[in-house]
């Protein structure tokens, strides 16, 4: 094993529901949204390596995170839905790094089910430690919010003081962990995952960012409703389930403007965090990685949110930045070969000179990060292994090169040429496979059929993983979404001032004699 001094620190900045389109450095001709402002992520991209075509392994919070943490595809990771539990026998990124000399810490949201909340991290001072997602609803928790509330009611200026907003707490607790760790063990490398909730709904942000994006001055969705897959059985059921056909006109644009604001607020938080870390000397030997768990349709195809095969759901940002790149000693890079979030596990091992477990499914991207080499061209999968959108709608999406094939369990497949049709409006199976695409079609179709058995996946879910839900169930009826692990080992609610406050007065004008209206 390498000595601690020869191993770089790793700062993993992880967000929730950030579409690959919503970053300022993504050109409009490559699908970017021209209005969004993300100067800090843009700076990181200018001083790093941008992976333009990165895919999550399941476009839903918990399954994507379990797959990413274990370096396994969804079926083998046991990543089924938002109540899935991380199986005890599986290796994880932090466990492997911890066993090879790193101190590890997770601050913020990870959305894991059951009592296994540390996932191999040694420290977890703040976050959704009862698996209750950790989103801060406005102004009180709304566990039974209807789908329409996401775009109709829970939108706009936040009513939470900024110092209590989870992004600010994550920044402070991350900085505190690094200061404490460096004080005790200055020569020991660290792996810190700062995991933010935004831009995931509720679509609320500080007023300055809400005001920055007036609904009548921002872009409409880049991809219109329609196309060959609009009436596909899964598309129809997804619109019905999410009630997205009802989201139109001012409601849609208000929600889009709030999503823009949430993205920019997250960017501001990341910028503040990096400035503080740099001022404290924590970035000198640190590789920075930014990504998210899945995308957000934000009105594309007449839909919202995630859990579908569309590019807006499955394709995510991925930026890495080495100390050499930030110092100008190595050039910025752009990698266009499709890669996957499950590649992060072997890549973190490669970057840290750590032996990787043999069972990992991903590819080590170290040479892409450090030298700008394109990784192997291979099928990249994104799955949905539960029939949320009707019987037979489980799918395996496979991307390789310019083509994408979507196989469903029991409804018609789809095949797209993303270079000619980035909006995914033309199903080449329906239109007729052109000669130049025939070989790719046969290859991806065969791969999708042979690499995943839906019946076997269902059996594993029922026999191997569902019993974990009862065995490792967690009971915390009085918990709010976010909690602190106190220095004395006590677990306490972090958000009681928001949701269980001691109210002194509801009439400030009467209470204070000199408060201006």
Specify the 3-state DSSP secondary structure of 16: strand
pLDDT for the residue 140: 56
Confidence (pLDDT) at 62? 97
Indicate the pTM of the whole model: 0.96
Q: Which residues are CB-neighbours of 470 under 8 A, at least 6 positions away?
A: none
pLDDT at 266: 98
Please list the ranges in the chain whose pLDDT falls under 50: 1-5, 141, 143
Structure confidence at residue 409 (pLDDT)? 98
pLDDT of residue 67: 98
Q: What pLDDT does 131 receive?
A: 82
Per-residue model confidence (pLDDT) at position 150? 87
User: Which of 298, 295, 292, 299 is CA-nearest to residue 307?
Assistant: 295
For 34-46, b/e burial (b = at least 16 CB within 10 A) is ebbbbebbbbbbe
- DSSP per-residue string spanning 318-347: EEEE-HHHHTTSS--EEE-S-EEGGGHHHH
Tell me the sheet residues that pair with 124: none
**pLDDT score recorded for residue 397:** 98
* Cβ-based burial of 233 (10 A; exposed 0-12, middle 13-18, buried ≥19): middle
* Beta strand segments in 270-379, E: 286-292, 315-316, 318-321, 333-335, 339-340
């Amino acid at each position: 094993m390498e000595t601690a001094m020869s191993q770089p620190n790793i700062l993993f900045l992880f967000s929730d529901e950030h579409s690959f389109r919503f970053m300022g450095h993504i050109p409009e001709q490559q699908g970017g949204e021209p209005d969004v402002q993300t100067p800090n992520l843009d700076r990181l991209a200018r001083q790093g390596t941008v992976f333009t075509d990165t895919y999550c392994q399941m476009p839903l919070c918990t399954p994507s995170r379990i797959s990413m943490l274990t370096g396994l595809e969804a079926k083998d990771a046991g990543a089924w839905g938002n109540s899935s539990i991380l199986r005890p026998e599986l290796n994880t990124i932090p466990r492997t790094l911890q066993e090879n000399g790193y101190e590890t810490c997770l601050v913020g949201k990870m959305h894991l089910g059951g009592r296994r909340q540390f996932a191999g991290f040694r420290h977890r001072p703040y976050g959704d430690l009862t698996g209750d997602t950790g989103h801060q609803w406005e102004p009180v928790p709304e566990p039974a919010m209807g789908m329409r509330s996401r775009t109709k009611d829970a939108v706009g200026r936040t009513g939470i003081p900024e110092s209590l907003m989870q992004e600010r707490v994550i920044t402070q607790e991350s900085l505190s962990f690094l200061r404490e760790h460096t004080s005790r063990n200055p020569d020991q490398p660290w792996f810190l995952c700062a995991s933010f909730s935004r831009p995931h709904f509720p679509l609320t942000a500080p007023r300055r960012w809400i005001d920055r994006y007036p609904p009548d001055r921002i872009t409409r969705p880049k991809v219109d409703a329609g196309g060959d897959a609009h009436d596909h059985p899964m598309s129809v059921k997804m619109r019905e389930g999410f009630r997205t056909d009802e989201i139109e006109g001012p409601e849609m644009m208000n929600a889009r403007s709030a999503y823009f604001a949430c993205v920019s607020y997250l960017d501001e938080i990341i910028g503040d965090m990096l400035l503080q870390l740099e001022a404290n000397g924590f970035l000198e030997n640190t590789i920075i990685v930014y990504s998210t768990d899945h995308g957000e349709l934000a009105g594309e195809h007449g839909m919202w949110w995630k859990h579908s095969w569309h590019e807006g759901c499955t394709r995510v940002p991925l930026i890495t930045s080495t100390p050499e790149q930030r110092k100008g000693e190595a050039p910025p890079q752009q990698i266009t070969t499709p890669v996957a979030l499950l590649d992060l596990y072997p890549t973190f091992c490669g970057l840290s000179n750590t032996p990787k477990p043999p069972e990992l499914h991903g590819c080590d991207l170290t040479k892409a990060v450090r030298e700008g080499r394109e990784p192997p061209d291979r099928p990249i999968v994104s799955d949905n292994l539960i029939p949320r959108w009707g019987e037979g709608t489980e799918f395996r999406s496979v991307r390789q090169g310019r083509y994408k094939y979507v196989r469903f369990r029991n409804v018609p497949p789809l095949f797209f040429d993303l270079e000619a049709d980035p909006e995914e409006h033309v199903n080449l199976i329906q239109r007729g496979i052109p000669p130049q695409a025939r070989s790719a079609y046969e290859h991806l179709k065969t791969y999708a059929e042979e690499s995943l058995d839906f019946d076997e996946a269902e059996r594993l879910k029922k026999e191997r993983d569902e019993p974990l839900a009862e065995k490792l169930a967690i009971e915390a009826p009085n918990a709010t979404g976010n909690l602190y692990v106190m220095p004395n080992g006590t677990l306490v609610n972090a958000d009681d001032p928001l949701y269980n406050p001691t109210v002194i007065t509801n009439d400030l004008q009467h209470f204070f004699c000199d408060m201006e209206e």
